[in-house]
Amino acid sequence: MIRGLFRFIFTMLRLFVRTLDFVVRGLFYALLIFGIGMVVAFFFRAEPQIADGSALLLRPAGSLVEQAVFERPLELLTTGGGPVGQTALADLLEAVGRAKDDERITTLIIETDDLMSGGMSKLGELRAAILDFKASGKQVLARGERFTQAQYYLASVADELHLSPDGFVLLLGLARYSAYFKDALDTLGVKVHVFRVGEYKSFSEPFTRSEMSDEDRAASLDLLDGLWTLLRDDIASARKLRPEAVDELVHNYRDVLAAAGGDAALAARNSGLVDRFSTRDEWRARLIALVGMDAEGEDVRMVEVGPYLAATRRDLPQVDDQIAVLVAQGAIMDGREPAGVVGGDTFAALIRAAREDEQIKALVLRIDSPGGSAWASEVIRRELELTRLAGKPVIASMSSVAASGGYWIAAGADEIWAAPATVTGSIGIFAMFPEFSEPLKRLGIGVDGIATAPLAGALDPRRPLNAAAAGAMQLGIEHGYRRFLAVVGKARNMSAAEVDKVARGRVWTGKAAFELGLVDQLGGLDAAIAAAAARAGVSAYEVVWPEAGASLEQRLLRRLSNFAQVLGLEPVASVRTPAPFARLLSELQAPAAELLRWNDPQHVYMHCLCEAP
């Protein structure tokens, strides 16, 4: 009987393995055939045609990012040509900018329902491009089934703003809440030793406190107030409202909703946030009335961003000179890392290759990073410095976040550009050392041994941290902070004392950083690229985007993605995780995952624990 049971288990296991192998092989071949089919279709299908009087459809999906990163092959099949939940900001900026001067494009249509997040500075850059489009005399229409704050911030720039009759506009203001683990760690007996300089360097506070410190509370409030002022004023200007009226709506939303009988859509219209209600069919009819039908008489005469860029890029004149945009996106790690994080060695090699490429006349460092490894940050900054010494201009362009280690690498540039809503600064340094001696003791596990010197084995987390080791680490951190002040002071022509006044770990908006002398100019990516070209003395150039850490698989998927854009393939509907549950998972997973990846050889970090709203 036992032998028969084992035979049954073995048979089922073998069946499972064969089934799994069949599924994996099937998916692989399906992807291969799909890719070959797109290549064949690309060469045999006619180029996309842009009809006169067309509209450009702007429908960003997922998160706005600086550089889309493929992580799984099946993303190509499930999204119709791009990584899951990612839209590259640069593509949208390029499309809107090109459409402004394209006589065939008369209208811009914005649909925000698939936009999940963007970072206020990225959305602000896109809004600025749309305002420039409007200034050319062309019209902009936008619609949403409902509007989150990020979606509405983008859509509010439209000349005509539509909302579903059963929708809502959710303006909530800004907030920053963190989980604090000290009591839980105390219960477990875990000690976290923190070494830092700067009362505003709050990264370690969740591990050492039960609540926000007074310094962090004051700095965070100042930051959020500055960001909210920018967002509120932009919305008020676009909708021709008083800024105070937007504040009153946010602070008294219950009363506003009650006055509309609980109808959130009516409350939004009464408050001047939207112009019209429209169902999906009414929206389609409105667009047809404005721009007409396509040649087949089946749909609105409009083109999406992917096919539009594919069609218009082929018409660009060929030039020899190039401006390279290097994207530093994600946490900064030591060594070689794939796309999605900033590997010190990987990114340094990318800078070096751009420096040695004779076609590349200048570099733009596009930063969207809260920092990370101090060692890796210096490796990157030094390569940028060498690039400048070699005669190639370097311009730093700050995206949503360029703080701590992100600011350190920006100090290697000739000029620093930031958006008014960029989160930057956090000039400070820290180290953390967890100690697990008490939990082990409670479990009855003893740790004993012998060493030849006081510091030998001192950083063993199973043993209490001795005073000599703690003192040495604090001295090292204080030296690192003085080094940070010196690097910034040299780059900004400031004394160490002057830098210290705006440093000590404090985070600033881009607007405040400009006023404090930490940033040279306020402006977006296009302005930074123009500044790089001006410094290099070139007027006709191609913008290229070298990638760091892209695997062969990722490069193949990107090529296939480009084919999908040319063909205008529609994405396959995907199942979304409910937003609150997804947010909870993210908040639990992200900090743990990032801590596990930290690999600075000296365990010294420059990170701001900050994200852009």
Tell me the backbone φ, ψ of residue 565, rounded to 5 degrees: -65, -40
Q: Which helix (H) or strand (E) holds 31?
A: helix 2-44
563 in helix, strand or coil?
Answer: helix
H-assigned helices in 101-213:
120-135, 149-155, 182-188, 205-208
- Cα–Cα distance measured from residue 210 to residue 88, given in angstroms and rounded to the nearest whole number: 38
* CA distances, 7 to each of 2, 14, 15, 602 (Å): 9, 10, 12, 54
Pick the catalytic residue from 404, 426, 437, 561.
Answer: 404
- Cα–Cα distance measured from residue 144 to residue 152, given in angstroms and rounded to the nearest whole number: 8
H-assigned helices in 493-599:
496-502, 510-516, 525-536, 552-567, 579-597
Reported in sequence order, the residue ranges of 376-497 that DSSP labels E, i.e. its strands, are 394-403, 415-418, 423-425, 429-435
Reported in sequence order, the residue ranges of 230-307 that DSSP labels E, i.e. its strands, are 276-277, 302-304
- Cα–Cα distance measured from residue 208 to residue 416, given in angstroms and rounded to the nearest whole number: 34
Q: Are 418 and 510 in contact (CB under 8 A)?
A: yes
Q: Which of 417, 422, 348 is nearest to 378 (CA)?
A: 348
Residues 6+ apart with CB under 8 A from 572: 77, 78, 79, 80
- Cα–Cα distance measured from residue 162 to residue 111, given in angstroms and rounded to the nearest whole number: 10
Identify the DSSP state of 554.
H
Q: Which of 108, 107, 109, 115 is nearest to 147 (CA)?
A: 115
The 8 Å CB, 24+ separation contacts for 22-28 are 27/73, 27/74
- Cα–Cα distance measured from residue 587 to residue 611, given in angstroms and rounded to the nearest whole number: 12
- Cα–Cα distance measured from residue 397 to residue 594, given in angstroms and rounded to the nearest whole number: 24
404 part of the active site:
yes
Pick the catalytic residue from 122, 201, 392, 511.
Answer: 201
- Cα–Cα distance measured from residue 408 to residue 411, given in angstroms and rounded to the nearest whole number: 5
Catalytic residues: 201, 404
